[in-house]
Amino acid sequence: MNLRSLLFTAMLSISLTAASAYAAEVKVGASPTPHAEILQAAIPMMKAKGHDLKIVEYADYVQPNMALDAGELDANYFQHQPYLTDFNSEKGTKLISIATVHYEPFGIYAGKTRELKALKKGAIVSVPNDTTNEARALLLLQDNGLLKLKDGAGLNATRRDIVANPLGLKIEEIEAAQLVRSLPDVDIATINGNYAILGGLKVKDALAAETTDSVAAATYGNILAVRDGDENRQELKDLAAILKSAEIRKFINEKYEGAVVPSK
């Protein structure tokens, strides 16, 4: 073998070794819809970067964070920043966001009552039972004139912060994943976007929904979360960039038709 061939072989070996060292398996926890579906669309793009993206689906809002904190996952993608901030405070975890990927308009959906103007006194309204999403639901009800919260309640609002309730609405706190199932038993339900999609509901059919240019759109963007200290891992930076890419934005817009909106 001549010197030129030897040099080429050596350079190729170094290149392959570097690529091998750079490649990584990335295990990400996600809600089935839309998060896991969006991650599925990212698999070929991660593969092109030399990474093997593995998706672990969760049906609730607690286990993905506990698994990430325990090191069972490299990242998760299912929540917004207010929820993560509240979770870190309650559980003592140290999880951070490295990208805001999309926003899911929160909606009010018909149960036994088909129109907001048809609500009667004592109507039952189901809302999520976790602090940040309950506040979001109550703010949406307030925006539609159904109740009034005390000044300053904001993102920490609960039933105790209702200061005016003309119809005497009965607010039932239910685990977010069960809100769609609650519809036959309540008059209306305020439902998280991902669970609405999973339950076959469409935001265009909601009785009312947050607008894409609202404060909620900026506040409740769904994030890619990692353990504090892992934010500079190259494979996680690659995943964050891919989830913000034009290709993924196009996938989201075409598949969800406004029920999921790419973040700016």
- Please spell the DSSP secondary structure of 55-122, one letter per residue: EEE-SSSSHHHHHHHTTS-SEEEEEEHHHHHHHHHHH---EEEEEEEEE---EEEESS--SGGG--TT
Distances (CA, A) of 4 to 11, 12, 13, 15, 207: 11, 12, 14, 17, 72
The reply to whether 29 and 123 lie within a common domain is: no
pLDDT in single tens digits along all 264 residues of the chain = 554 544 444 444 444 333 444 578 999 999 999 999 999 999 999 999 999 999 999 999 999 999 999 999 999 999 999 999 999 999 999 999 999 999 999 999 999 999 999 999 999 999 999 888 999 999 999 999 999 999 999 888 999 999 999 999 999 999 999 999 999 999 999 998 889 988 999 888 999 998 877 777 778 999 999 999 999 999 999 999 999 999 999 999 999 988 899 998
The reply to whether 8 and 71 lie within a common domain is: yes
pLDDT at 4: 52
The C-alpha atoms of residue 156 and residue 85 are separated, in whole angstroms, by 12
pLDDT at 38: 98
The range of the structural domain enclosing residue 10 comes to 3-104+221-262
Q: Is residue 214 part of a domain?
A: no
Q: What is the CATH number of the domain that holds 67?
A: 3.40.190.10
The reply to whether 12 and 66 lie within a common domain is: yes
The reply to whether 116 and 163 lie within a common domain is: yes
Q: Is residue 9 part of a domain?
A: yes
Residue pointed to by tokens 């036959």: 184
Q: Are 209 and 77 in contact (CB under 8 A)?
A: no
Distances (CA, A) of 149 to 32, 119, 145, 162, 213: 33, 19, 11, 4, 22
The reply to whether 137 and 176 lie within a common domain is: yes
Q: Are 17 and 2 in contact (CB under 8 A)?
A: no
Count of residues making up the chain: 264
Residue 227, amino acid: R
Q: Is residue 216 part of a domain?
A: no
Q: Is the peptide bond before 34 cis (omega within 30 degrees of 0)?
A: yes
pLDDT at 6: 45
The reply to whether 185 and 252 lie within a common domain is: no
Q: Is residue 161 part of a domain?
A: yes
User: Which among 39, 87, 80, 90 has a CA at the least distance from the CA of 192?
Assistant: 80
The reply to whether 117 and 186 lie within a common domain is: yes
The C-alpha atoms of residue 191 and residue 210 are separated, in whole angstroms, by 11
The C-alpha atoms of residue 81 and residue 42 are separated, in whole angstroms, by 22
Question: How many domains are contained in the chain?
Answer: 2
Task: Please state the φ and ψ torsions of residue 142, each to the nearest 5 degrees.
Answer: -65, -40
Burial 63-93 (b: 16+ CB within 10 A, else e): bbbbbbbeeebbbbbbbbbbbbebbbeeeeb
pLDDT at 1: 52
215 C-beta neighbours (distance < 10 Å), count: 12
